[in-house]
Amino acid sequence: MKIRKRMTWVSILISAALLFLLIRLAEIQLFFTESFSKRNVNLIQESVKQRTEEVQISDGRGSFLDRNGEHLSVSQKPAIVLFPFLKKQPWPIEEASDILNMSEAELNEKLEKAKKPVILTKNEEKTFSKTALEKINQLKYPGIYGVYIEETEKNRLASHTIGMTNQDPDLLRSKYPHKDGLSISTKIGTFGMERTFDEFLLPEQDTKLLYHVDGLGNPLFGMDVKYTADANPFYPLQIKTTIDKQVQQSLEDVLNEHKLQKGGAVLLDIENSSVLAIASKPDLNMASQKTRQNYMMTPMYPGSVFKTVIAAAAIENGLDHPSKTFNCNLNLYGEPGEDKGKLNLADSFAESCNYTFTNLAGQLVEKNSSIIEDTAQKLGLTERVGWEGKLYHQDHFRQFYHEVTGSIWGDERDKKIKKAVAQTAIGQKNVKLTPLEIANMMATIARGGEKKQVKVADQIEYKNGTMMTTFKDQKLSGEMIDSFTAQKLQKLLRKVVTSDKGTGRRFSDLPFDVAGKSGTAQTGRQSKDKKTLYHKWFAGYFPADKPKYALAVVHMDTPDGKAATNAAFYDIVKKVYEIEKNQT
């Protein structure tokens, strides 16, 4: 009796297990073939992949162009594709050998070892010519093809701003729950403009050469190699940026040459407040989260560059009389510690006298407690300066990824503390601004006070080059400094370079006349050998008489005397001059 019961239970369990397996098999093969599991895996698609050998020519994702239409995010490499089944039958190896300038033995060797399609990109360190690809295709023999393979640039220019893509199925499904055609292997923008513009860059269909194989790797259906491509002339889309590829390369080369390891530079076109070049250091390493920080959009201590704001407030409130002098033998707290003598506002700005600006800040705050932040706002320093507006269904589309706004005060009570006001006046305490904001401030002054949002993308184009939408120039909201104040600031910034004792006198022999302001900010940190670390700045615009470019360079966490800031600023201006000269 007991044995019969046990047999009954065993039968029930086996039946239940078989039923479960049957249901599971039905789910896999009948009911959820295109959306299996929580990740909605397309099982049909994935099973076909297992039986397919393919060469991807393009993943179908949209790309980024510079302002002249040159590719920034991808490169097109000429290549010859040889499929493994060629080794099992006669093929025109003699003709291919002559065209490719490779021996028959070399071609046979590559095929003999191949289990997957062989991709040849060069011969004797030379890339294949367009003519070679055309001649190979004229053979019209299945299994050998000349193609241009599109590859994502691994060491792309402006990498922190353009960003990168990666496979992230969870992010993909959370962002696009209704796009059922997307494979879980589809790459998605994870940061930078790749992330902000991701919706416009998603692939419609990739382009590839493929053939189906049996279990032994032999081709099914004979030697039928298929070419799959999206025939749509409009997709994928392309984002035309405002970046100039040649200028960008030169700027990055300069930073590397001067070993600027942390910080970076941003160069703006003043007329329309657009990014010509932008680079953040250290270089991007996809394996490290730390290197993904874009310091050009990260608030940091600006040091004496912030004296530009105090000078603007002093001018607007009539505290800039040329006959009024300040005792620059005193330090920022009004105590003995400097030896610059008595200077008026213009000379104090040129020589970066701390006492003058802490004295002025004290007078200004006493008169109006919000005057410093109000003036900073007029110069575009307390709000996001990147382009923001309506783009199709998005009411607040932002071109820049994770742009952070600057700040002036950390605590309202600091306005009543003399030392806190003094530290704020020279860009310390709680003053933190981004290099992008500071470059835009210089552009604002150069334009006579007109505030504009900064663009890094000019338009979105269809694949055939026609325009889908454009990003119009937009003004920053709020009050502006008047043209009279801007003119006075322009003179102060120019004197920094022309004065014999000016902190920017090094730039006086450049082919472009430069106007700008230096800055040295204490970070509160020390190096391993106990040296005090600083943020070293120079920000300005050029040519001074007819401004076209605004530039901010910062070397972060550097010991005094070791900064590459001035050398980098100098060489970037020189490179821009040379490029402009060659273009005319």
Average pLDDT, integer, range 500-504? 96
Residue 533 tokens read as 């670390």
CATH 3.90.1310 maps onto the chain at 45-240
If one compares 358 and 47, the residue with the highest pLDDT of the two is 358
The answer, yes or no, to whether residue 221 has pLDDT greater than 60, is no
At 52 the pLDDT is 63
The structure tokens 């930073």 sit at 255
Q: Average pLDDT for residues 209-217, to the nearest whole number?
A: 62
Catalytic residue among 274, 304, 352, 518: 304
CA-to-CA distance for 581 and 573, rounded, in angstroms?
A: 12
Cβ contact 90:192 at 8 Å = no
**Distance between CA atoms of 369 and 362, rounded to whole angstroms?**
10
Read off the pTM.
Answer: 0.85
Instruction: Please report where in the chains the tokens 């022999």 appear, as a residue.
Output: 509
Instruction: Record the tokens describing residue 415, joined without a space.
Output: 């306005």
pLDDT digits (tens, 9 = 90+) for 321-348: 999 999 999 999 999 988 999 999 999 9
Look at residue 17 and tell me whether its pLDDT is greater than 70: yes
Q: Determine the pLDDT at residue 46.
A: 45
pLDDT at 48: 46
Q: What is the mean pLDDT of residues 433-438?
A: 98
Q: Is the pLDDT of residue 204 over 80?
A: no
Calculate mean pLDDT across residues 424-436. Answer: 97
Mean of the per-residue pLDDT values of the chain: 88
Q: In the chain, which segments carry CATH 3.40.710.10? A: 245-285+293-583
Residue 294 · residue 280 · CB < 8 Å: yes
Rounded CA-CA distance 458/145 in Å is: 37
CA distance 301 to 430: 8
- The architecture of the domain spanning 245-285+293-583 is 3-Layer(aba) Sandwich (3.40)
CATH architecture of 45-240: Alpha-Beta Complex (3.90)
Total length of the chain:
584
More confident residue, 198 or 4: 198
Token readout for 402 is 């994770």
How far, in Å, CA of 291 to CA of 180, rounded?
Answer: 34
CA atoms within 13 A on the CB side of 375: 24
Asked whether the beta carbons of 435 and 266 are under 8 A apart, the reply is yes
How many angstroms separate the Cα of 47 from the Cα of each of 24, 34, 490? 17, 11, 67
The closest alpha carbon to 144, from 133, 155, 152, 157, belongs to 133
- Residues 355/338, Cβ–Cβ less than 8 Å: yes
Q: Kindly compute the dihedral angle of the four CA atoms of residues 433, 434, 440, 446, in this order, to the nearest 10 degrees.
A: 50
DSSP-derived pairing of the beta strands 187-191 and 263-269: unpaired
User: CB burial class (10 A; 0-12, 13-18, 19+) of residue 529?
Assistant: exposed
Q: Give the list of residues 6+ apart from residue 256 with CB closer than 8 angstroms, or none.
A: none
Instruction: Say which residues have a Cβ less than 8 Å from residue 565's Cβ, sequence separation at least 6.
Output: 260, 263, 536, 537, 538, 553, 554, 555
In angstroms, the CA 41 to CA 186 distance is: 12
pLDDT digits (tens, 9 = 90+) for 235-247: 889 999 999 999 9
pLDDT in the model for residue 44: 47
- Most confident region among 60-64, 170-174, 450-454 by mean pLDDT: 450-454
* pLDDT number for residue 43: 47
User: What is residue 31's three-state secondary structure?
Assistant: helix
φ/ψ of 157, rounded to 5, equals: -70, 155
Residue 515 has pLDDT above 70, yes or no: yes
* 304 annotated active-site: yes
Percent of the chain residues topping a pLDDT of 90 = 60
E strands, 291-410, are 326-327, 342-343, 388-391, 394-398
The CA angle 445-451-453, to the nearest 5 degrees, is 125
Q: What are phi and psi of 529, to 5 degrees?
A: -95, 25
Q: pLDDT tens digits, residue range 132-179?
A: 899 998 988 888 888 888 877 778 899 999 999 888 888 888 888 877
Task: Sort 86 into a burial class: Cβ within 10 Å, 0-12 / 13-18 / 19+.
Answer: buried
Q: For residue 185, what are its two tokens?
A: 């292997």
Tokens of 155: 């060491």
